[in-house]
Structure 1
Amino acid sequence: MDSFTFQHDIETFCVTATSFPDGIEAAFSELRAILPPHENRHFYGISWRGEDGNIIYKAAAEVLDSDENFMHHDLQRFTIKTGPYNTFYIPDFRNHMAEIPKAFELLLKQHEVDPNGYCLEWYFDDKDVKCMVPLGKEYQSFTGLNKEYN
């Protein structure tokens, strides 16, 4: 487990999966079909437990400066918040899919996790993912050892 700090909020466009986990791939496919490909676009998975106990999952893509044509599209929006996160890196995740829920189980058991936070998957490419959970406000001053993303 590592730490990581986002130095600024990240605005994203989102598509909500119709079910979890079966609808995840279709949500990402829909998102990729709408947005133009761009080498600097980061993709994320954002999830949390809904009031009914079911997991809400959103496939998300970073909003780029070149996306002005999509600002008025019916895509949902989500802001990934600035601050420290506990993380777990999974290389070659497609061949290790069972490691993703295990990583979040480990991350969510940590006492410093924000109880009102969310689970975040940061897809670096088609092979590697970083599973992340935000820290609670009282732990956000412990950022000295964190890696930073600007």
Structure 2
Amino acid sequence: METVILENDIKVFYVTAKSFPQGIGEAVNKLHSLFTFSKERRIFGLSRPENNDGIIYRAAAEEMHDGEAEKVQCKTLLIPKGKYIAVVVNDFRKDIMSIDKAFKQLLNQSNLDPEGYCVEQYASDTEAVTCMIRLNE
């Protein structure tokens, strides 16, 4: 495990999966249909239990300019700056359950932000994902 510091809040727009985990692929595909690929744009998966509805998953992309979310008719949220505990999963497509295993390991840590998301940050140039959860500071 490692510590990742997000120096600034990250504004993202998102597509909510209809179910978890079955609806993740559809949400990711819908999100990617909304913009042209750019190595500069950060891509995320955000999940957490909400409103007694079980785990809600959001496929999210960093907003590159003001008003972009409205243009593609998506809601936004902020990934808050701060200190995150993290595990990097390489070649995640070879074993998609490795992401689940990483989050189970992270969720066993103390001092997690009770309002935080399980955040997947996808690398733009490799098949790696950084799995992270914000610490309660």
How does the TM-score come out when normalised to structure 1? 0.84
Partner in structure 1 of residue 39 of structure 2: 39
Distance 1:36 1:112, change over 3 A: same
Post-superposition offset of 1:37: 2.1
Percent of paired sites with the same residue: 36
Q: Aligned to 1:34, what secondary structure does the other structure show?
A: coil
Q: Distance in 2 between matches of 1:68 and 1:76?
A: 11
The answer for the alignment partner of 1:9 in structure 2 is: 9
Deviation at 1:52, TM superposition (A): 2.1
Give unmatched runs, 5+ long, in structure 1: 138-150
> Contact 2:13 / 2:69 at 8 angstroms: preserved in 1?
no
Give 1:144's aligned residue: none
Shift, 1:38, TM fit: 1.9
CA displacement, residues 46-79 of structure 1 (integer Å, 9 cap, x when unaligned)? 00012225110000001113x6454344201111
Q: What does 1:127-138 correspond to in 2, within 5 Å?
A: 127-137=127-137
Alpha-carbon distance between aligned partners in 2 of 1:70 and 1:52, rounded to the nearest angstrom = 27
Deviations 1:87-121 (A, max 9, x none): 00000001121111111111111112112211000
Q: Which segments of structure 1 move beyond 4 Å, counting only runs of 4 or more?
A: 67-70
Between structure 1 and structure 2, the one with the greater Rg is 1
Query: Residue 112 in 1 paired to residue 111 in 2?
Result: yes
CA contact (8 A) 2:93 2:127 kept: yes
Q: Report the secondary structure of 1:71's partner residue.
A: helix
CA distance in 1, matches of 2:71, 2:37: 18
Amino acid at match of 1:48: R
Report the equivalent of 1:19: 19
Structure 2 letter corresponding to 1:71: E
Structure 1 segment 43-122 matched on structure 2, within 5 A: 43-65=43-65, 68-122=67-121
Q: Aligned Cα RMSD in Å?
A: 1.5
The number of aligned residues is 136
What SS is found at the alignment partner of 2:33? helix
